[in-house]
């Protein structure tokens, strides 16, 4: 066989690799709407795997231990999220009904500012257009409820079978990765640390910021402070939005009610006190958990949220970290071989 011809074994290898990539792409494409459920199952599994193994070591049947953990995860995750959705939906429905009136009030307040600074900003804004846009967004949110329910069902279905195979699942999965044991352990350790760090750290920091904001809501006499407390927590977990999702609407609401000093005080409190606590809380939490570089977290969130949805806050940084880890592994495994072979040829 000439040097320019590919060997039959290499052709078969390339054909198999192409088939694997094509089938993997089709599977991933069809599972994309429910990817958040799959990633949610992985997240809960990573968080509760050690507890599952402890239950098995105590003599619990695998199905019983897995059922207990699924029930615990329902209590910790599904019930609080459902209550938050019910609380938000009732408030949002009222806001949609009165959206045109609220927009008119806000425009009148902004118009006062425009007259003061002599700049016309809202000339092209129509209250009916704004209220129509809000209604469309709410309807789109309601339309995604069905997919969310299916994703949750998939999450617990996958989680159950992952848990009952907790002791050998990792070795079975890692057997398909064509890397040596040392690199496999590095990937497994870093993935577990990042998932735990983000799955625990992000909600914990958001809760701490929400509590600080709640104190401000009570100080400045905000109506429905618990509702805005929930909004602030949700906003704190959203990149580039943060606690402003709660602080700014409340400030505008106070202005529309003629409580100007309270609005100014809350705005300053939100920017100085609530804003500064973000860095403090994140430093404290990161010291206890995995200490990711802020740039990795930022890039990961930018990449992960469009890909995976809200759970991309967890798996976006994981994706970036694994990419950097794989580059490092490739350099260690193949970079040294290339340099050593080059030196051998030179000798």
Long-range contacts of 284-291 (CB under 8 A, 24+ apart): 285/200, 285/201, 285/204, 285/205, 286/197, 286/201, 289/193, 289/196, 289/197, 289/200, 289/201, 290/193, 290/194, 290/196, 290/197
Domain boundaries, the chain: 34-167, 181-347
Mean pLDDT to the nearest integer, 79-91: 70
Does the pLDDT at position 317 exceed 70?
Answer: yes
Which candidate, 200, 275, 264, places its Cα nearest to that of 235?
275
pLDDT band with cut points at 50, 70 and 90 for residue 71: very high
**Reported confidence tier of residue 79, pLDDT bands at 50, 70, 90:** confident
Inform me whether the pLDDT recorded for 132 exceeds 60: no
Does 110 have pLDDT greater than 80? Answer: no
Instruction: Indicate the SS3 state at residue 123.
Output: coil
Q: Is the pTM of this model over 0.75?
A: no
Rounded to 5°, angle at Cα 197 from 196 and 199? 60
* pLDDT at 293 exceeding the cut of 90: no
For 40-75, the DSSP string reads HHHHHHHHHHHHHHHHHHTT--HHHHHHHHHHHHII
Determine the pLDDT at residue 127: 47
């Amino acid at each position: 066989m000439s040097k320019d011809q590919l060997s039959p074994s290499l052709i078969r290898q390339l054909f198999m690799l192409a088939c694997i990539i094509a089938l993997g792409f089709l599977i991933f494409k069809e599972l994309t709407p429910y990817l958040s459920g799959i990633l949610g199952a992985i997240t809960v599994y990573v968080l509760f795997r050690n507890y599952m193994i402890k239950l098995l070591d105590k003599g619990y049947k695998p199905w019983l231990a897995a059922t207990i953990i699924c029930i615990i995860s329902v209590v910790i995750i599904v019930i609080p999220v459902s209550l938050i959705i019910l609380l938000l939906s009732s408030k949002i429905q009222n806001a949609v009904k009165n959206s045109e009136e609220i927009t008119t009030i806000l425009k009148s307040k902004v118009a006062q500012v425009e007259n003061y600074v002599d700049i016309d900003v809202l000339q092209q804004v129509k209250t009916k257009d704004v209220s129509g846009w809000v209604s469309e967004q709410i309807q789109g949110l309601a339309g995604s409820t069905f997919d969310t329910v299916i994703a949750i069902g998939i999450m617990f279905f996958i989680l159950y079978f992952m848990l009952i195979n907790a002791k050998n699942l990792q070795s079975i999965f890692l057997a398909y990765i064509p890397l040596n044991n040392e690199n496999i352990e590095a990937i497994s350790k870093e993935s577990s640390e990042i998932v735990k760090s983000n799955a625990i750290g992000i909600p914990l920091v958001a809760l701490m910021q929400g509590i600080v904001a709640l104190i401000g809501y009570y100080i400045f006499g905000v109506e429905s402070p618990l509702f805005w407390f929930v909004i602030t927590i949700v906003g704190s977990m959203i990149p580039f939005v943060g606690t402003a999702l709660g602080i700014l609407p409340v400030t505008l609401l106070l202005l529309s009610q003629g409580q100007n000093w309270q609005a100014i005080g809350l705005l300053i409190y939100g920017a100085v006190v609530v804003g500064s606590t973000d860095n403090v809380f994140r430093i404290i939490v990161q010291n206890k958990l995995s200490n990711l570089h802020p740039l990795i977290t930022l890039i990961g969130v930018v990449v992960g949220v469009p890909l995976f949805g809200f759970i991309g806050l967890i798996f976006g940084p994981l994706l970036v970290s694994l990419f950097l880890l794989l580059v490092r592994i490739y350099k260690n495994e193949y970079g040294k071989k290339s340099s050593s072979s080059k030196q051998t040829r030179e000798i």
